[in-house]
Amino acid sequence: MDISTQSLVTEGVRISVRTIYVPEQSSIKNNTFVFAYRITIVNETDQTVQLLRRHWKIKDAQGELREVKGEGVVGQQPVLLPGRSHSYVSGCVLKTPVGTMDGFYTMIRYEDETEFDVKIPEFTLAAAFLLN
């Protein structure tokens, strides 16, 4: 069950996020709450772009903040031609049944080798049992 969908455009690159709570991998008594998210990146510009790096901020309901930085996404640095998209699925484990994630991707335009940051919209991670 999708529990959140967010979308944001920065410098002509659209980032859309869909999240889902994964109860079969979660444990309420062990304070382990597992979420999956699907990111779709759409190049709405007339130039070829490539995703180089990611920077995530992950915050749980107790205010604990984790930052995750690294090359690419799930082992890839996708190149997006004008009008093309790239999607991937990843996950996050929180100690609380609700939290948020946001951040940005650092990308480069092939034509002029300019790097720029594309904002990932803040999205909520919430266990499905909280929504009933």
CATH label of the domain that carries residue 49: 2.60.40.1470
- pLDDT category at 58 given cuts 50, 70, 90 is very high
When divided into structural domains, the chain yields a total of 1
Closest CA to 49 of 9, 18, 17, 89: 9
Asked if the structure places residue 67 within a domain, the reply is yes
Q: Residue 48 belongs to what domain range? A: 2-126
Task: Flag whether pLDDT at 102 surpasses 80.
Answer: yes
Asked, for residue 29, whether it belongs to a domain, the answer is yes
132: in domain: no
Q: Say what the pTM is.
A: 0.91
Does 74 fall in a domain? yes
pLDDT at 6: 87
Residue 131 in this model has a pLDDT that exceeds 90 = no
Whether residue 64 is predicted with pLDDT greater than 60 in this model: the reply is: yes
Task: Decide: 86 and 41 in contact? Cβ < 8 Å.
Answer: yes
* Residue 2 or residue 130, greater confidence: 130
